[in-house]
């Protein structure tokens, strides 16, 4: 019976294991497995699939909308309103309970719809799997479902194949794979069969191929060593599944705010009930009714709905800017970040190899996106820039033509290129210059790792051989050089110049190839004879270039006090070069090995001065992220590969790429850039800052008015019990404001304008300010002072109006009506007082103008229509409106004086 292979998985250093020992450890050989043995191993190891992370059910998604301390307070308030019916002499307050229930349901449904739409727009891990694989079973090649691949299977690898599992290569013919989804490195990896040191980083294990990567050139065979969740991709998926979701700073703050309000309300209820019970003759039922009223007054019923509405409005704005938000609180969280950790490939770069520099006729030519043509076939339209060569513009057409001919790229009818990225770059450079690789191919002398060159012979009038390869190798085969259309001797001095130029290109992280050509008499001659005495044409340097807009976006972020850190799987030289090109400091760059060697404390200290990290693997990114977060930073982590998923999950804001990103990265993220544009992150941060500012405005507005209402009820009942005991002792007369009136103020007079505040235009200069401190919440010291100031002013002036009216009219009902209307008017005007501190006029937000107008009209309808009987208020006379006007003027004057003092103390008009 075949021995078990389960004990070999995930523990064996396969890249350091010789081929024969690998076969032995897996109990297989080059002939593969039998069908029966494969079936047994499938039962032992399970299917070769990435287990999909458990999806949030619709029910859980809906219930999550109600897991909020503010919602809990509203539920308690509703139950207390119904509970009055259990008190002797009391009646259940159905109206209040229904109003509160409607707010709870509306807020939950609104948030659910937004989250459901975002969640269902993201597909997860199942699409990772390759549909089939070619294996050797029972001595024959078979195409099977990739999920049926098992350890010990021999798989065949051809250009274009998706690699079905992690496997050890034992046969390779020019085999190259694209591992950027796993390692982040954009350059194809040439595979070998030789053993590699055990401590070699993942990106450099050239005798291994990995699940979820693809073959871009050549062919080979490999023996499967890991499948399913035991693969490198599976390990990342496991980390992703086990990672805890972090609450956004705003979620934490709203939860804290809810607890604070709850504690305040309970404390006030206990205080008022205790004072009334001990020092007044108020009936127990009336005392309990006061407690319920305080609970209703203290809870800003509209706050959850307004917050949800504002965040959803921001999320919709971001969608218009190509940023899809998966969780609403993330919208605000973007405004508080101070570090962006970004991947390189496809995020700050274009994720395609591009020829960016040429060397021909002794001159360097820089190609840029602004050049629609680098050269033309006749050399008459050379839109190039020659640097350091006295303005001389060399004829680069022969060099580009050689790159296009010595090439195996196919071009589809719709203009797409298919082939190895390096060859695609060469072909595209020629196509952009309108250079046609003319001639019929006669023969190809293939590239090999030993030869380090490739030669193609084409017939175009006369047979001509075109060579490309490592510059040193090509130079060895050349005895002359093409300069300005003339073939001259390749002297030692010119050789040194070419080699020096090669080194300078490489120092800028360019991948450099040399090119040569010559006419041939006999295309079938020996390869060495054909490749001797070539004419050197020049060099082409290529790289995955940064996006044009990234440097400006990073500069804008820097102006906003946001630091950008580059973390990539590429080698150190490439990472430093790209970092410098996008405006980062390459000095002091660290590698993944450096990260591993440092303790958490050491990394926490050094990370503040490092802008570039190279050769990073998934655990390195997580360590970098954790070090930044432990230092108090709010971090955006961007990425598009499978390797980015764990860090995306744990980041304060995880941002995945929509076009080039893998499904795993999208699933792990909080936000998806639909245009893969780093500049979109800058725009999203600006939007987040503007949203936070609006949130701060209406939190100030709602909490200050609710606090004022609490003080009005608290002080009014106490003073009323002392000053007017006969009118404040009975159950029906114990309240200065009834719960239904307070609910009306909170839901109509407060919530509608607050919703309109969410649409306030963002102030200029948002990206010229530093991020707010990580420990500063929506309610900072200045906002707290403003809230308390307004609450006291509202209570003092409102109670002044109330007791004046009560003394003059002797009617508690009329005094309540006056106080009710006074609070509505003051709160509607106060909203513009808050906005004026941000230099915003009423005309800048027509929605707010409309909301205030509607609220005033509805208030008049309550007073002067039959609705006044339902609300138990009375119409006001013109004289009584005059009393309200006097009280309002007093409130406004005191508010102006105290606001000016507040501004002077805090020295900032926009810190609220």
Which of 203, 187, 186, 205 lies closest to 195, judged by CA? 205
- For the four alpha carbons of 873, 875, 880 and 886, in that order, the dihedral sign comes to positive
- Tell me how long the chain is: 912
C-alpha span between 233 and 212 (Å, rounded): 7
Is 640 tagged catalytic?
A: no
d(CA 591, CA 817): 71
Quick one: DSSP state of residue 643?
G
Closest CA to 292 of 272, 263, 316, 313: 272
Within 10 angstroms of residue 603's Cβ, the number of other Cβ atoms is 23
DSSP labels, 872-885? T--PPPHHHHHHHH
Q: Which of 656, 649, 651 is nearest to 629 (CA)?
A: 651
CB of 291 closer than 8 Å to CB of 269: yes
The encoded tokens of residue 573 equal: 């030289």
Instruction: Tell me if 609 sits within 8 A of 585, measured CB to CB.
Output: no
- Distance between CA 912 and CA 909 in Å, rounded? 8
Q: Is 784 helix (H, G, I), strand (E, B) or coil?
A: helix
Q: Beta-strand (E) ranges in 348-439?
A: 354-360, 363-366, 385-387, 410-411, 417-418
Report phi then psi at 637, rounded to 5: -115, 120
Which is the catalytic residue, given 343, 432, 544, 670? 343
- The HSE-up count of residue 567 (CA atoms within 13 Å, CB side) is 30
- Residues sharing a CB contact under 8 Å with residue 697, sequence separation 6 or more, in sequence order: 757, 760, 834, 835, 838, 912
First-to-final CA distance of the chain: 75
Query: Which tokens go with 159?
Result: 């250009």
Please, are residues 345 and 534 in contact by the beta-carbon 8 Å criterion?
A: no
Tell me the C-alpha distance between 375 and 23, whole Å: 53
Its sign, for the CA torsion 897, 900, 906, 910, is positive
Alpha carbon distances (Å) from 877 to 814, 864, 874: 10, 11, 10
Q: Tokens at residue 796, please? A: 């003092």
- Please tell me the distance from the alpha carbon of residue 721 to that of residue 735, in angstroms, as a whole number: 10
Query: Which residues are annotated as catalytic?
Result: 343
């Amino acid at each position: 019976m075949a021995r078990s292979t389960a004990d070999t998985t995930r523990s064996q250093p396969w890249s350091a294991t010789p081929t024969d020992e690998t076969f032995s450890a897996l109990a297989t050989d080059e002939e593969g497995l039998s069908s029966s043995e494969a079936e047994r191993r499938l039962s032992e190891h399970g299917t070769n699939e990435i287990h999909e992370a458990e999806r949030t059910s619709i029910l859980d998604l809906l219930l999550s909308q109600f897991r909020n301390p503010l919602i809990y307070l509203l539920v308690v308030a509703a139950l207390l309103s119904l509970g009055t019916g259990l008190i002797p002499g009391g009646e259940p307050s159905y109206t209040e309970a229904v109003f509160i229930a409607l707010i709870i349901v509306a807020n939950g449904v609104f948030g659910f719809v937004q989250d459901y739409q975002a969640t269902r727009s993201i597909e997860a891990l199942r699409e990772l799997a390759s549909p089939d694989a070619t294996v050797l079973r029972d001595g024959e090649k078979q195409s099977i479902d990739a999920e049926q691949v098992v350890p010990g299977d021999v798989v065949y690898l051809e250009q274009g194949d998706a690699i079905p599992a992690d496997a050890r290569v034992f046969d390779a013919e020019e085999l190259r794979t694209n591992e950027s989804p796993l390692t982040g490195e954009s350059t194809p990896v040439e595979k070998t069969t030789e053993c590699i040191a055990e401590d070699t980083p993942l990106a450099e294990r050239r005798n291994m191929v990995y699940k979820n990567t693809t073959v871009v050139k050549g062919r080979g065979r490999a023996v499967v060593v890991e499948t399913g969740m035991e693969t490198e991709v599976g390990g990342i998926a496991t980390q992703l599944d086990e990672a805890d979701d972090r609450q956004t700073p705003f979620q934490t703050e709203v939860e804290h705010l809810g607890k604070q309000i709850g504690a305040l309300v309970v404390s006030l209820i206990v205080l008022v009930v205790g004072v009334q019970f001990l020092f007044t003759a108020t009936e127990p039922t009336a005392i309990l009714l006061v407690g319920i009223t305080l609970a209703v007054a203290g809870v800003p019923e509209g706050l959850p709905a307004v917050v949800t509405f504002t965040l959803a409005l921001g999320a919709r704005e971001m969608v218009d800017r190509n940023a899809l938000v998966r969780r609403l609180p993330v919208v605000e969280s973007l405004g508080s970040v101070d570090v962006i950790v970004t991947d390189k490939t496809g995020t700050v770069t274009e994720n395609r190899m591009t020829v960016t520099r040429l060397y021909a006729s002794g001159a360097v030519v820089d190609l840029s996106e602004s050049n629609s043509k680098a050269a033309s076939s006749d050399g008459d339209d050379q839109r190039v820039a020659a640097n350091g060569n006295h303005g001389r513009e060399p004829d680069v057409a022969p060099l580009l033509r050689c790159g296009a001919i010595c090439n195996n790229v196919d071009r589809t009818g719709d203009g797409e290129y298919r082939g190895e990225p390096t060859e695609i770059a060469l072909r595209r450079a020629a196509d952009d210059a309108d250079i046609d690789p003319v001639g019929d191919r006669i023969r190809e002398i293939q590239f090999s790792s030993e030869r380090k060159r490739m030669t193609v012979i084409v017939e175009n009038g006369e047979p001509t051989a075109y060579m490309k390869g490592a510059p040193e190798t090509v130079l060895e085969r050349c005895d002359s050089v093409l300069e300005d259309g003339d073939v001259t001797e390749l002297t030692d001095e010119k050789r040194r110049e070419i080699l020096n130029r090669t080194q300078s290109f490489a120092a800028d992280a360019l991948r450099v190839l040399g090119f040569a050509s010559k006419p041939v008499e006999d295309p079938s001659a020996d390869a060495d004879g054909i490749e001797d005495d070539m004419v050197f044409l020049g060099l082409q340097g290529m790289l995955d270039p940064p996006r044009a807009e990234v440097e400006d976006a990073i500069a804008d972020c820097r102006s906003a006090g946001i630091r950008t850190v580059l973390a990539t799987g590429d080698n150190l030289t490439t990472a430093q070069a790209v970092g410098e090109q996008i405006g980062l400091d390459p000095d002091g760059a660290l590698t993944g090995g450096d990260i591993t060697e440092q303790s958490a404390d050491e990394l926490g200290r050094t990370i503040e001065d490092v802008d570039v990290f190279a050769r990073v693997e998934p655990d390195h990114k997580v360590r970098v992220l954790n070090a930044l977060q432990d230092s108090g930073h709010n971090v955006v982590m961007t990425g598009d590969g499978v390797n980015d998923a764990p860090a995306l999950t744990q980041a304060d804001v995880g941002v995945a790429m929509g076009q080039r990103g893998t499904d795993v990265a999208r699933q792990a993220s909080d936000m998806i850039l639909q245009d893969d544009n780093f500049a979109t992150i800058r725009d999203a941060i600006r939007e987040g800052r503007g949203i936070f500012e609006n949130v701060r405005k209406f939190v100030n507005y709602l909490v200050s008015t609710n606090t004022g209402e609490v003080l009005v009820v608290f002080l009014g009942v106490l003073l009323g019990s002392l000053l007017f005991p006969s009118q404040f002792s009975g159950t029906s007369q114990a309240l200065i404001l009834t719960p239904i009136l307070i609910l009306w103020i909170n839901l109509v007079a407060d919530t509608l304008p607050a919703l309109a505040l969410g649409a306030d235009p963002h102030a200029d200069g948002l990206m010229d300010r530093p991020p707010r401190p990580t420990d500063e919440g929506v309610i900072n010291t200045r906002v707290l002072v403003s809230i308390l100031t307004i609450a006291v002013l509202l209570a003092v002036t409102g109670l002044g109006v109330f007791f004046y009216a009560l003394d003059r009219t002797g009617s508690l009902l009329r005094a309540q009506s006056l106080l009710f209307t006074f609070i509505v008017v003051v709160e509607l005007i106060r909203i513009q007082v808050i906005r004026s501190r941000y230099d915003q006029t009423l005309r800048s937000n027509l929605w707010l103008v409309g909301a205030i107008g509607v609220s005033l009209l509805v208030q008049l309808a309550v007073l002067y229509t039959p609705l006044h009987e339902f609300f138990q208020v009375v119409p006001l006379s013109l004289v009584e409106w005059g009393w309200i006007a006097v009280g309002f003027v007093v409130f406004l004057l005191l508010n102006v004086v105290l606001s000016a003092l507040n501004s002077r103390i805090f020295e900032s008009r926009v810190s609220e």
